[in-house]
Amino acid sequence: MALFPITSNFEGDFVLQLVAVDSENTMDEVAAAAAVHSVGRRVRARPGQIMRVRRQGSEDFLPRSMRVSESGLKPTETVEIIWEAPKH
């Protein structure tokens, strides 16, 4: 367990945020940590949608249960937080 800095590029936000997460946080927890700095400030909440994490420039989301320590992310690397409608 260690603090791990990432840069958050939250969908709909024009500000990149440096966010401290824990190396054992899941991608869902990373998304939630990033949301604190964007949602309700410059980004409207989207009830019923899920926040997903991917490396900047990637098309593929990281698994929601993947831990930061398992992701291969480097300190201060930029991740995109994208809203996704739940699958029915």
The residue extents of the domains of the chain are 3-84
pLDDT at 4: 97
Q: For the whole model, what pTM was predicted?
A: 0.91
Q: Indicate if the pLDDT at residue 87 is higher than 80.
A: no
Instruction: Count CB atoms within 10 A of the CB of residue 9.
Output: 20
What residues contact 70, with CB distance under 8 A and at least 6 apart? none
CATH of domain 3-84: 3.10.20.270
86 pLDDT tier (thresholds 50, 70, 90)? confident
Q: 23-81: per-residue pLDDT in tens?
A: 999 999 999 999 999 998 999 989 889 999 999 999 999 999 999 999 999 999 999 99
What's the burial of 20, exposed, middle or buried (CB within 10 Å: 0-12/13-18/19+)?
Answer: exposed
CB 19 within 8 A of CB 34: yes
